[in-house]
């Protein structure tokens, strides 16, 4: 990842007392209130919470699409003020690929345009990452010919090829069918094993949070506040039932007081 | 209670049902839209010829064969190509300037709220106004010449193209916009690399409508006054021949207008469409 002068041990991303508000026609909505957390290098940091807890809004603020009305977001010591290719986003929507570019061109475009790579270097890098998500056979296909899962994998390859400081993923697998979602999760973990990139992942599924993350930040809704942080999630294992118990604990914590229906 | 088990089925031998069958030659030919339309045209041509012969009045309704003879004659002596060239030259000039102005207006409209208000107000006011209605004024301002024609052509192209481009830009999905900004794209680069391709179906639709408007407006305007710098266009050709009671030539002129329209629609715009929006799956 991008080398910087920040002292070793300092967090990569620092979200400090961030309050986010946005206007709807007729109201000023507070999405999150004084949320603080830090993300370290090579973390798989998951934001988890029910709808209305402002987790997507928080991710967009880290992406630079939304300025906090209170608090500050810094990455590598730089204050986040606008979107930029050092924080690549992967969205939930399938239409995030540029439909007029092939799979390869979709991955090379930001490399050439934002990173200033030559076409040859960009193609080499793009091929490498497209191979990692097992899509080499559709290199020259246009996005509309791909399935939803393939589109999301291209988006992940595009994000990773840029080698950003942090990869921001906004429920990227939420719109996929259960089997494809499972495959994509495994693939993401496999990629992480190989390159140890830093990722911030938003989800509303407790099971997905436990599968993906090594740290989980639990948010409560209306307005979004930090309720708890789960650490060392990696140690929970599906085989001895500890993952199941953790899932139940998190579920109880998130839904006990509110009495809301769980959708986990 | 017994344990859950998985029982594999033996594969059921040879598959019996057919999966795919080739269509017969006639079925395949009829699937081709071009063939169906050509058959339709042939039918109409026969109808025309029969009706023309039956009325037997070349002054009112010449037959297809007389029209084609006139058409070939005028193409041979060079008069029709020359008139068509004169029309198309003016048309391209007006169309080009109109499209460029529409582009500038739309870019102003997406960058500033006032620009957007201006575009909306102007299109609402001026797009229902038929371009030909401006001709008397245009003649007063720019005189009997190509200037007047170009002026009304710009009017007929500018509003539909600007309106379509603007609504196309506004319909670009939120996700794609965020992707573009994620790459750090701003200003003109953002418009050129994200907005224009993403809005291309609407832009192309606008260009097509603009072309059709411009073509009709031009032919109509040439009927009112045709001679500019000693050489009229197709509209004038039609008007002239009507005055000479050369009705087959009038029909030949009309046919040329139709043919040019068809060629532009089917060759130029269809090709652009096939290479862009259809290929990208933005339109089916």
Dump pLDDT digits (tens) for A28-68.
888 888 888 888 888 889 988 887 788 888 899 988 888 88
Q: Which of B153, B193, B159 is nearest to B176 (CA)?
A: B193
3 state SS of A48: strand
pLDDT tens per residue, range B40-66: 989 999 999 999 899 888 788 888 888
Q: What is the pLDDT of residue B12?
A: 57
Q: What is the pLDDT of residue A245?
A: 77
Mean pLDDT across chain A: 83
Domain A11-86+169-257, architecture per CATH: 3-Layer(aba) Sandwich (3.40)
- Cβ atoms A146, A119 nearer than 8 A: no
pLDDT tens per residue, range B53-102: 998 887 888 888 888 999 999 899 888 888 888 888 889 999 999 999 99
pLDDT tens per residue, range A19-28: 888 888 888 8
**A222 — alpha (psi -120 to 50), left (phi > 0) or beta?**
left
Percentage of chain A beyond pLDDT 90 is 10
Of the partner residues B182, B276, B281, the one whose CB lies closest to the CB of residue A144 = B281
* Chain A residue nearest residue B281, CA to CA: A144
Hey, are the CB atoms on A88 and B182 less than 8 Å from each other?
Answer: yes
- In angstroms, the CA B151 to CA B135 distance is 9
Signed CA dihedral, A115, A119, A120, A123: sign only: positive
pLDDT higher at A189 or B227: A189
Q: What is the pLDDT of residue A253?
A: 79
A95 touches chain B (CB under 8 A): yes
- Cβ atoms B238, B250 nearer than 8 A: yes
Q: How confident is the model at residue A6 (pLDDT cuts 50, 70, 90)?
A: very low
CA B10 to chain centre: 60
Q: Which of B201, B246, B239 is nearest to B222 (CA)?
A: B239
CA distance B268 to chain A (A): 20
Q: Which of A150, A156, A179, A178 is nearest to A168 (CA)?
A: A156
Hey, are the CB atoms on A87 and B197 less than 8 Å from each other?
Answer: no
DSSP structural state of residue B274: I
pLDDT tens per residue, range A128-142: 889 888 888 888 889
Q: What is the pLDDT of residue A262?
A: 44
State mean pLDDT over B10-28: 72
- Cβ atoms A31, A21 nearer than 8 A: yes
Hey, are the CB atoms on B194 and A63 less than 8 Å from each other?
Answer: no
What ipTM was assigned to the predicted interfaces of this complex?
A: 0.84
Please identify among residues 141-200 of chain B the ones whose CB lies closer than 8 Å to any CB of chain A: 173, 175-176, 178-179, 181-185, 189, 193-194, 197-198, 200
State mean pLDDT over B241-252: 88
- In angstroms, the CA B239 to CA B237 distance is 6
Q: What is the pLDDT of residue B221?
A: 86
State mean pLDDT over B256-279: 87
Q: Would you kindly state where each structural domain of chain A is located, as residue ranges? A: 11-86+169-257, 97-163
pLDDT tens per residue, range B220-246: 888 877 555 456 788 888 888 888 888
Q: What are phi and psi of B170, to 5 degrees?
A: -70, -25
Q: Tell me which fold the domain B43-48+61-278 belongs to.
A: MetI-like fold (1.10.3720)
Q: Which of B115, B109, B273, B272 is nearest to B191 (CA)?
A: B109
- Tell the burial category of A38 from Cβ atoms under 10 Å away from its Cβ (0-12, 13-18, 19+): middle
Please identify among residues 18-77 of chain A the ones whose CB lies closer than 8 Å to any CB of chain B: 63, 65
- A53 contact partners, CB below 8 Å, separation of at least 6: A32, A219, A220, A221, A222, A224
Q: What is the pLDDT of residue B106?
A: 92
Size of interface A-B (CB pairs under 8 A): 63
Q: Which helix (H) or strand (E) holds A203?
A: strand A199-203
CA distance B176 to chain A (A): 6
- In angstroms, the CA A218 to CA A206 distance is 10
CA distance A243 to chain B (A): 23
DSSP structural state of residue B10: P
State mean pLDDT over A233-254: 76
- B251 contact partners, CB below 8 Å, separation of at least 6: B62, B66, B67, B70
B276 touches chain A (CB under 8 A): yes
Q: Would you kindly state where each structural domain of chain B is located, as residue ranges? A: 43-48+61-278
pLDDT higher at B230 or B204: B204
- A244 contact partners, CB below 8 Å, separation of at least 6: A238
State mean pLDDT over A104-133: 88
Q: Which of A173, A140, A152 is nearest to A46 (CA)?
A: A173
User: Which residues in A179-203 are b (16+ Cβ under 10 Å) and which e?
Assistant: ebbeebbebbeebbeeeebbbbbbb
DSSP structural state of residue B171: T
Model-level pTM?
Answer: 0.80
């Amino acid at each position: 990842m991008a080398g910087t002068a920040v002292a070793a041990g300092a967090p990569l991303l620092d979200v400090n007392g961030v309050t986010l508000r946005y206007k709807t026609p007729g109201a000023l909505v507070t999405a999150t209130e004084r949320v603080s957390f830090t993300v370290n290098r090579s973390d798989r940091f998951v934001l988890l919470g029910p709808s209305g807890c402002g987790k997507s809004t928080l991710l967009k603020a880290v992406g630079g699409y939304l300025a906090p009305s209170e608090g500050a977001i810094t990455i590598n010591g730089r204050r986040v003020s606008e979107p930029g290719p050092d924080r690549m986003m992967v969205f939930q929507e399938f239409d995030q690929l540029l439909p007029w570019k092939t799979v390869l061109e979709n991955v090379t475009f930001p490399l050439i345009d934002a990173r200033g790579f030559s076409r040859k270097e960009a193609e080499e890098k793009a091929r490498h990452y497209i191979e990692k998500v097992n899509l080499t056979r559709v290199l020259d296909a246009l996005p509309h010919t791909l399935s939803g899962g393939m589109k999301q994998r291209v988006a992940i390859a595009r994000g990773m090829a840029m080698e950003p400081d942090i990869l921001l993923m906004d429920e990227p697998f939420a719109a996929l069918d259960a089997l494809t979602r499972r495959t994509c999760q495994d693939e993401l973990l496999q990629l992480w094993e190989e390159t140890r990139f830093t990722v911030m992942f938003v989800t509303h599924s407790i099971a997905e949070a436990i599968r993906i993350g090594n740290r989980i930040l639990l948010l409560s809704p209306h307005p979004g506040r930090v309720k708890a942080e789960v650490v060392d999630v990696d140690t929970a294992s599906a085989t001895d039932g500890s993952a199941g118990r953790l899932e139940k604990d998190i579920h109880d914590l998130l839904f006990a007081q509110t009495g809301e229906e769980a959708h986990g | 209670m017994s344990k859950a088990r998985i029982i594999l089925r033996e594969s059921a031998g040879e598959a019996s049902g057919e999966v795919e069958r080739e269509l017969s030659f006639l079925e395949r030919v009829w699937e081709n839209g071009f063939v169906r339309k050509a058959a339709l045209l042939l039918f109409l041509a026969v109808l025309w010829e029969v009706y023309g012969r039956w009325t037997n009045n070349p002054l009112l309704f010449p037959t297809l064969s007389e029209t084609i003879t006139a058409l070939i004659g005028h193409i041979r002596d060079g008069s029709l190509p020359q008139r068509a060239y004169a029309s198309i030259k003016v048309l391209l000039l007006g169309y080009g300037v109109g499209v460029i102005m529409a582009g500038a207006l739309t870019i102003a409209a997406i960058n500033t709220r006032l620009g957007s208000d201006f575009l909306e107000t102007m299109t609402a006011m001026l797009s229902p106004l038929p371009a030909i209605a401006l001709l008397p004024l245009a003649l007063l301002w720019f005189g009997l010449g190509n200037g007047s024609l170009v002026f009304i052509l710009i009017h007929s192209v500018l509003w539909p193209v600007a309106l379509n481009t603007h609504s196309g830009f506004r319909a670009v999905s939120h996700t794609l916009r965020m992707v573009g900004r994620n790459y750090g794209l701003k200003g003109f680069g953002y418009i050129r690399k994200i907005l224009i391709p993403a809005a291309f179906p609407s832009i192309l639709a606008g260009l097509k409508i603009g072309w059709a408007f411009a073509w009709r407006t031009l032919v109509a305007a040439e009927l009112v006054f045709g001679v500019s710098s000693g050489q009229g266009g197709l509209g004038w050709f039609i008007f002239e021949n009507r005055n000479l009671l050369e009705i087959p030539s009038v029909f030949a002129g009309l046919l040329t207008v139709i043919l040019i329209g068809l060629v532009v629609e089917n060759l130029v715009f269809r090709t652009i469409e096939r290479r862009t929006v259809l290929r990208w799956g933005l339109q089916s």
